[in-house]
A and B are shown apart, each in its own frame.
Chain A
């Protein structure tokens, strides 16, 4: 690739937002989405914008593209692209810039690609339209670019339709398409959120490389601080429509000067946190609605350092931090706050002691039959095949224990939850609850008491409650169904008690789900799960759809209730940082099999299964002191319909030792009591592994 012909002076910013304000016009009137936003992006620089949902980070990106829809408008300030104000440009000029000088990559790759066009048509269109290239030249450029984004076999990909590619490949194609026009600025809006962790690691590595190879400036929008640390030079932290802190990654990560930034870091599970000894500190209160923002500092009502008369008196401008050039913060009291003091609010708790095994899974299998109704299938007599969603699952969960099941999509963790809940019947083996077999007992044949003692918290808070019924009536239904309470007043009282349990006001019983925030909905989901005195609660990614500050509160709540009721928690997740924080024991699954299991301590330190090792290395950690081993898996997740022979992980394993991996299923090795690994590697190799995550120098925040 050659750098574009346009001279790009290195001292002039590519993009500058000056005092930018953006509003949306809705039924409730004008809603300011972004207020007084400043940002400078220099050539070749990657700037991260981080913030929780509704903070205005995506609005900034759309404003830069000048693509806000009918009801949005820039109400003040300028957006300078190469020194020219985009807000005054004509539609014609904007069209020339969009897609060629500024390109954007969205969260959902499938939504960015046209499903009815071949990849080649979509890629070649870019140079042909923007530069008037011939189709031969466009073909050549496209192939080169696919190669540059490390898509295997570019020629085959070019002739494919989007649905024939995996999610990771699709996102790489989208990035290639964005880079084809050789843009000066690339906007990435949560580009890896829809991808699996190990696939995400590969895409992140690619993004990191872009500015180096192509000299492209980037704006990376994410809610994940770890990803920003891995990809960006500078970072802007946004809260409620304003940037509250701006600086280089090391300035913001190691010497943060805004209470919100610190609150954010205190609520994410970094290595070293522990749910008993060093619990996370959620930010109290809630994000204010855009039309209910408090005067002065918008973070004021949630801030521990709030001083009436100063913090609530507008305007609160962005100030440069003294003795730290390039670092700016929107806080009038940043000089007075003692930043070395440990945050208050974290209450140390005794570790939970476990009881007898409550749930025992013995050699559990779940196969799905796929009928081949094609003529060839009928002629060959092989009318049906089996998808082995769960194969030989074998583990225990004790009273008051949290067992995490970890794995990427298609690993069979949700199938296991379905069997447990009675939505599916197991094909073989046993699932014992208090010694009684339930794997073959569909939910219709279960007694109300059994159903009540085995409950689930769903992943998506926005779907877990029926929007047509009040919150109270949905909890009441559960109580009546399990026979916990019968009379009207008794049910009412129990509903109020459950709301108390999840720390929500009793008046919420009469609200409709749409009047609740995501975190509040998830609390109702938890209240419902604990309505029938559950012995085992399956939590299917209960916090993955929530904002980080809310995640901390919900995990804290789950731990509290577990401590109080001594419930066994089966925690299903793909997020190893949350698992490390919350789980006592971990089961790592890949393509329907358990690859490794052991205590959290055993899983997160060597010896590892090679898959666990890759998973650990793929998890972005928002801590500059952490040194990670760099392992990026090649290839994509195989389809569970067509699993590899031998060891399921052999197609992607960086430690594959030879033919034996392809032909024979590895034995289960017990390396320490309870620590089981399914791998062909000799014991001495496994034991000689180095830790993936290592803590570096201590720094200010750790003090």
Chain B
């Protein structure tokens, strides 16, 4: 490996230094070039990430600005106030392109947050169950199995309709305690996704840990009197990262779908925020007239999810090659 700046002969008084972390990350990412499928996936994901990041500086219409009487226009319609509605307008006369791009911001942020939280919870559950074993494992596995035995959508609907912004509890939070309704909705989505996803992550982590914990370096850590938390977090989890990175990519795709679906069912972020799922359900009511305003967000969802799936495939393909 050419990651060392010092040669192995520097043995005597010379104090060797290590190579920069950045260069090592770049070199491992550049491996992805060997997988065409992975490259396509990475391109799709990066496409949406770039648009989301650049949304505030792009010359876009206000995504919330309605234009009465200028509804459900086809693509390339010139706008009333000058400029062009490149992808047409929706059922309230809002610019579809602008809503699509601002919507990508929303979905990427909340999907990533939800997946991260679900992963953190799932990894802790899995590593504790796998490493500690015994009653810990019994209780954690039982709890996870109970959650997994619900149909996921039903679980989400129950949680969000009971605790979401429209529920009594949500009303109490936003009206009496003054919480931001968007934040409340986002947090409740994260909680719902965590309930549905964490047990699945925990299962994968538990399986990996059951294998990893038989290694000598774990025995070495036990022999030097490390605490269980140190062993679980520092010695075990980093070695499970390979399969978990692949799984996290896939999982992020599922969560994207989930958030879009919740938006479609009006259980997502409250209007008028440009949620992809909400955009579809809004335009859908108008049948074939709404086709244009409906197809673009649908296309956006599938391209982002496809990108994440292909990226996961690519990473897996590379990690299996020697």
Interface of A toward B, CB cutoff 8 Å:
26-27, 421-423, 443-444, 446, 448, 451, 455-456, 458-460, 463-470, 477-478, 481-482, 492, 496, 500, 505-511, 515, 528
**Chain A CB within 8 A of B10 CB:** yes
Chain B residues near A27 (CB, 8 Å)?
A: 34, 321-322
Q: Which of B47-55, B59-67, B221-229, B266-274 contacts A (4 or more CB under 8 A)?
A: B221-229
Q: Does B238 contact A (CB under 8 A)?
A: yes
Contact for B225 among A26, A451, A510, CB less than 8 A: A451
Give the distance in Å from the alpha carbon of A665 to the alpha carbon of B4 in the complex. 61
A366 to chain B, nearest CB (A): 17
4 interchain residue pairs of minimum CB distance: A468-B238, A510-B18, A463-B216, A458-B216
Decide if A505 touches B219 in the complex (CB within 8 Å): no
Q: Which of A443, A456, A463 has the most CB of B within 10 A?
A: A463
Shortest CB distance A455–B (Å): 8
CA distance A606 to B301 in the complex (A): 81
A/B interface sample: 24 pairs, CB < 8 A: A27-B322, A421-B223, A451-B223, A451-B224, A456-B223, A463-B215, A463-B216, A464-B217, A468-B238, A468-B239, A470-B18, A477-B224, A482-B224, A492-B15, A496-B15, A505-B10, A505-B11, A506-B16, A507-B8, A507-B10, A507-B16, A509-B16, A510-B16, A510-B19
Instruction: List B contacts of A455 (CB < 8 A).
Output: 223
Contact (Cβ within 8 A) B4 A478: no
B14 within 8 A of A: yes
Q: Known: A506-B14, A528-B220. Contact between A466 and B239, CB under 8 A?
A: yes
Docked Cα-Cα span, A27 to B222, in Å, equals 37
Q: B9 an interface residue at 8 Å Cβ cutoff?
A: yes
Q: Which of B6, B11, B16, B235 contacts A466 (CB 8 A)?
A: B235
A4 to chain B, nearest CB (A): 40
Q: What is the minimal beta-carbon distance from B20 to any residue of chain A, in angstroms? A: 12
Say whether B217 contacts A465, CB under 8 Å. yes
B25 part of interface (Cβ distance < 8 Å): no
What does the 1/0 interface line of B208-220 toward A look like (CB < 8 Å)? 0000000111011
Query: Chain A residue with minimal CB distance to B241?
Result: A468
> Is B149 close to A, CB under 8 A?
no
With A505-B8, A507-B4, A508-B8 in contact, is A446–B225 under 8 Å at CB?
yes
Please tell me if B28 contacts chain A, counting CB pairs below 8 Å.
no
In the complex, are the beta carbons of A26 and B322 less than 8 A apart?
yes
Per the bound structure, the CA–CA distance linking A222 and B76 in Å amounts to: 75
Report the minimal beta-carbon distance from B248 to chain A, rounded to whole angstroms.
Answer: 17
| A residues near B238, Cβ cutoff 8 Å | 466, 468-469
B30 within 8 A of A: no
* Chain B residues, Cβ within 8 Å of A423: 219, 222-223
Encode contact with A along B1-41: 1 for CB under 8 Å, 0 otherwise: 10010111111001111110000000000000010000000
Chain B residue numbers with a CB within 8 Å of A464 are 216-217, 220
Residues of B within 8 A of A443 (CB): 222-225
A340 CB, min distance to chain B CBs, angstroms: 35
Q: Are A460 and B216 in contact (CB under 8 A)?
A: yes
B residues near A496, Cβ cutoff 8 Å: 15
Q: Which residues of A contact B220 (CB under 8 A)?
A: 456, 458, 464, 528
Asked if A463 contacts B6 (CB within 8 A), the reply is no
CA A370 to CA B103, docked complex, whole Å: 60
Among B7, B11, B226: residue with most chain A CB under 10 A: B11
Q: Is the CB of A448 within 8 A of B225?
A: yes
Q: Are A505 and B9 in contact (CB under 8 A)?
A: yes
A444, A468, A515 interface centre (most CB from chain B within 10 Å):
A468
Chain A residue contacts of B15, Cβ below 8 A: 492, 496, 506
Complex contacts, B16 vs chain A, CB 8 Å:
506-507, 509-510
When chains A and B are docked, how far (Å) is the Cα of A27 from the Cα of B34? Answer: 9
Given contacts A464-B216, A506-B14, A507-B8, 11 further A-B contacts (CB under 8 A): A26-B322, A423-B222, A443-B225, A444-B225, A448-B225, A451-B225, A456-B223, A467-B239, A481-B225, A481-B226, A506-B16
- Among residues of A, the one whose C-beta sits closest to the C-beta of B4 is A507
A481 — nearest CB in chain B belongs to which residue?
B224
The CA-CA distance from A622 to B220 in the complex, in Å, is 35
Let me know if B14 and A459 touch, CB within 8 A: no
Distance between A458 CB and nearest chain B CB, rounded to angstroms: 4
A424 to chain B, nearest CB (A): 11
Number of A-B contacts (CB under 8 A): 80
Give the docked Cα–Cα distance between A118 and B163 (Å). 58
Q: Give A448 to B6 CA distance when docked, in angstroms.
A: 34
Closest residue of chain A to B12 (Cβ to Cβ) is: A506
- Minimal beta-carbon separation of A555 from chain B (angstroms): 19
- Whole-angstrom distance between the alpha carbons of A618 and B104 in the complex? 71
Residues of A within 8 A of B217 (CB): 463-466
- A residues less than 8 Å from B8 (CB atoms): 505, 507-508
A470 to B223, CA, bound (A): 20
Chain B residue nearest in CB terms to A26: B322
| Chain B residue with Cβ nearest A443 | B225
Q: How far is the CB of A303 from chain B (nearest CB, A)?
A: 20
A507 close to B224 (CB less than 8 A): no
Interfacial chain A residues near B226, Cβ < 8 Å? 481
Of the listed residues A27, A505, A509, the one surrounded by the most CB atoms of chain B closer than 10 A to its CB is A505
Contacts of A515 in B (CB 8 A): 1
Q: B219 near A458 (CB under 8 angstroms)?
A: yes
Give min CB distance, A328 to chain B, whole Å: 34
Write out the residue numbers on chain B whose beta carbons fall within 8 Å of the beta carbon of A446. 225
Q: How far is the CA of A515 from the CA of B18 in the complex (A)?
A: 14
Distance of A417 Cα from B271 Cα, bound (Å): 66
B4 contacts across to A, CB distance below 8 A: 507, 510-511
Chain A residues, CB < 8 A from B19: 510
B226: nearest chain-A partner, CB-CB: A481
Query: For residue A482, which residues in chain B have a CB less than 8 angstroms away from its CB?
Result: 224
A459–B239 CB distance below 8 A: no
Q: In whole Å, how far is B317's beta carbon from the nearest beta carbon of chain A?
A: 12
CA distance A459 to B219 in the complex (A): 12
Give every chain B residue within 8 A of A465 (Cβ-Cβ). Answer: 217
Could you tell me the distance between the alpha carbons of A515 and B24 in the complex, rounded to whole angstroms? 14
Max chain A C-beta neighbours (<10 A), residue from B16, B220, B226: B220
* B residues near A511, Cβ cutoff 8 Å: 4
Query: Nearest Cβ distance between residue A284 and chain B, in whole angstroms?
Result: 15
In the complex, which residue of chain B has the Cβ closest to the Cβ of A509? B16
Report how far A224 CA is from B159 CA in the complex, Å: 65
Q: Which residues of B contact A467 (CB under 8 A)?
A: 239
Chain B residues lying within 8 Å of A507, measured Cβ to Cβ, are 4, 6-8, 10-11, 16
Interface of chain B residues 266 through 285 with chain A (CB within 8 A): none
When each residue 57-101 of chain B gets 1 if its CB lies under 8 Å from chain A and 0 otherwise, what string results? 000000000000000000000000000000000000000000000
Q: Which residue of chain A has the shortest Cβ distance to B321 in the bound complex?
A: A27
Q: Closest chain A residue to B14 by CB distance?
A: A506
A293 to B190, CA, bound (A): 56
Bound together, the chains give a CA A59 to CA B43 distance in angstroms of 41
| Shortest Cβ distance from residue A33 to the other chain B in the assembled complex, whole angstroms | 13
In the assembled complex, the Cα of A423 lies from the Cα of B216 at a distance in Å of: 13
Asked whether A506 lies within 8 Å of B239 as measured between CB atoms, the reply is no
* Shortest Cβ distance from residue A443 to the other chain B in the assembled complex, whole angstroms: 5
Specify which chain B residues have a CB less than 8 angstroms from the CB of A456 in the assembled complex.
220, 223
Q: When chains A and B are docked, how far (Å) is the Cα of A478 from the Cα of B11?
A: 22
A463 to B235 alpha-carbon distance, docked (Å): 12
Nearest Cβ on chain B to A503's Cβ, whole angstroms: 9
Residues of chain A with a CB closer than 8 A to B239's CB:
466-468
Question: B223 — which chain A residues lie within 8 A by C-beta?
Answer: 421-423, 443, 451, 455-456
Within the assembled complex, what's the spacing in Å between the Cα atoms of A693 and B205?
53
Give the docked Cα–Cα distance between A464 and B8 (Å): 22
Q: Chain B contacts of A470 at CB under 8 A?
A: 18
Residues in B with CB closer than 8 Å to A508 are 8
| Cα–Cα, bound, A528→B220 (Å) | 10
Expressed in whole angstroms, the Cα–Cα distance for A367 and B164 within the complex equals 57
Q: For the complex, give the distance between the alpha carbons of A110 and B278 in Å.
A: 57
Query: Which residues of the partner chain B approach A458 to less than 8 Å between Cβ atoms?
Result: 216, 219-220
A467 and chain B: residue at smallest CB distance: B239
Contact residues in A for B216 (Cβ distance below 8 Å): 458-460, 463-464
A463 proximity list for chain B (CB < 8 A): 215-217
